[in-house]
């Protein structure tokens, strides 16, 4: 059992928004932006993504290739990966995922207008399998508390903003654990991270092991991600809260700052965005700036 249950009110900001487009009051948008940048999860209990009758047939694990945890769609190049089916099936899955990406983009632009002009759209993901039944190494196991950082895709400090929607047709919630504030996470692991090697970073980029240059910031974030997941005592004892996102709900978070773990649930859509730090209302709240204050040096 954790040492202290974190108050869910410290982590979840509930917003009564039921449409992906339209207008929101200025005060609502302002408070949502502040809560998001403070490291809270924005929760929309009435914001559903509608699946057509024909699309219900895709709510099966078999739609994803064997060994893949999700179906992935890159809207920037129109490429779908890890989906299984006939050409007509794959075209229908692509349309469904493109629609979710468009909805998510409209939501972020509506709720967070200061981001609209600089937001970079990443991949759309559909996760049809039960999250609790995957057998993975600790580093890949998303049922362990972690902050998002990826070995092959350095961000160079850009924020990772994600929109999630539970489309489960059988009433099953998406169960999350939400951990300690990012400042606490960073302080817990900063002194244990091995030194950064610019030479290794150049080599990884040159041979294509990383899609871009891995900065000192990316190194710290990736090692923190891995060490969090591998530390059994940390997983057990750190302050945390449980929350179940019901079907028909949507939520949004900076997953590079929010410590989270997906414990159970099936049939989830996810849209990733990237945002440069300078575009934030308060750049000092970015993990990059927090880590630079902690280490006393520039990290990009």
- Supply the DSSP string of 51-101, one letter for each residue: PPTGGGGG-SGGGBPTT-S-EEEETTTTEEESB-S-HHHHHHHHHHHHHHH
Residue 169 pLDDT grade (very low, low, confident, very high; cuts 50, 70, 90): very high
pLDDT at position 212 is 96
Backbone phi, then psi, for 8, in 5-degree steps? -60, -25
Check whether 14 has a pLDDT greater than 80.
yes
pLDDT at position 134 is 72
pLDDT at position 66 is 87
Residue 3 pLDDT grade (very low, low, confident, very high; cuts 50, 70, 90): low
pLDDT average, residue stretch 1-18: 85
pLDDT at position 140 is 86
Rounded Cα–Cα distance for residues 243 and 5 (Å): 12
Check whether 139 has a pLDDT greater than 90.
no
Indicate the pairing of strand 241-245 with strand 250-254. unpaired
pLDDT at position 143 is 95
Least confident of 131-135, 165-169, 283-287: 131-135
Buried b (16+ CB within 10 A) or exposed e, 232-246: eebbeebbbbebebe
Nearest to 174 by CA among 183, 162, 156: 162
pLDDT at position 88 is 95
Asked whether the beta carbons of 243 and 11 are under 8 A apart, the reply is yes
Q: What is the pLDDT of residues 192-214, one digit of tens each?
A: 999 999 999 999 999 999 999 99
Alpha carbon of residue 206 to chain centroid: 28
pLDDT average, residue stretch 273-284: 98
Check whether 260 has a pLDDT greater than 50.
yes
- Contacts of 55 by beta carbon, 8 Å cutoff, 6+ apart: 92, 96
pLDDT at position 203 is 97
Residue 298 pLDDT grade (very low, low, confident, very high; cuts 50, 70, 90): very high
Domain 9-295 of CATH type 2.60.120: yes
pLDDT at position 135 is 67
Rounded Cα–Cα distance for residues 245 and 253 (Å): 13
pLDDT at position 138 is 79
What's the mean pLDDT when you consider all of the chain? 95
Check whether 1 has a pLDDT greater than 50.
no
């Amino acid at each position: 059992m954790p040492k202290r249950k974190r108050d869910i009110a410290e982590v979840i900001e509930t917003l009564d928004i039921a449409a992906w487009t339209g207008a929101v009051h200025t005060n609502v948008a302002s408070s949502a932006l502040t809560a998001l940048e403070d490291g809270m999860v924005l929760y929309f209990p009435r914001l559903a993504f509608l699946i057509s009758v024909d699309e219900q047939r895709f709510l099966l694990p078999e739609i994803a290739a064997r060994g893949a945890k999700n179906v992935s769609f890159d809207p920037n190049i129109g490429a779908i990966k890890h989906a299984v089916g006939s050409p007509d099936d794959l075209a229908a899955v692509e349309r469904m995922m493109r629609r979710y990406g468009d909805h998510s983009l409209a939501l972020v632009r509506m709720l967070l207008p200061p981001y609209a002009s600089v937001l970079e759209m990443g991949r759309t993901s559909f996760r049809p399998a039960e999250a609790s039944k995957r057998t993975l190494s600790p580093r890949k196991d998303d049922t362990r508390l972690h902050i998002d950082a990826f070995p092959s895709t350095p961000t160079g400090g850009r924020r990772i903003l994600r929109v999630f929607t539970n489309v489960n047709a059988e009433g099953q919630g998406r169960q999350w654990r939400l951990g300690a504030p990012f400042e606490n996470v960073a302080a817990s692991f900063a002194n244990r991270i091995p030194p950064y090697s610019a030479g290794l970073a150049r080599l990884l980029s040159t041979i294509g092991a990383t899609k871009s240059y891995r900065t000192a910031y990316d190194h710290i974030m990736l090692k923190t991600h891995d060490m969090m997941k591998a530390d059994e005592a940390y997983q057990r004892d750190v302050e945390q809260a449980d929350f179940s996102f019901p079907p028909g709900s949507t939520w949004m978070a900076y997953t590079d700052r929010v410590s989270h773990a997906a414990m159970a649930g099936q049939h989830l859509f996810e849209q990733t965005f990237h945002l440069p730090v300078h575009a934030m209302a308060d750049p000092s709240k970015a993990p990059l700036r927090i880590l630079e204050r902690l280490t006393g040096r520039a990290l990009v």
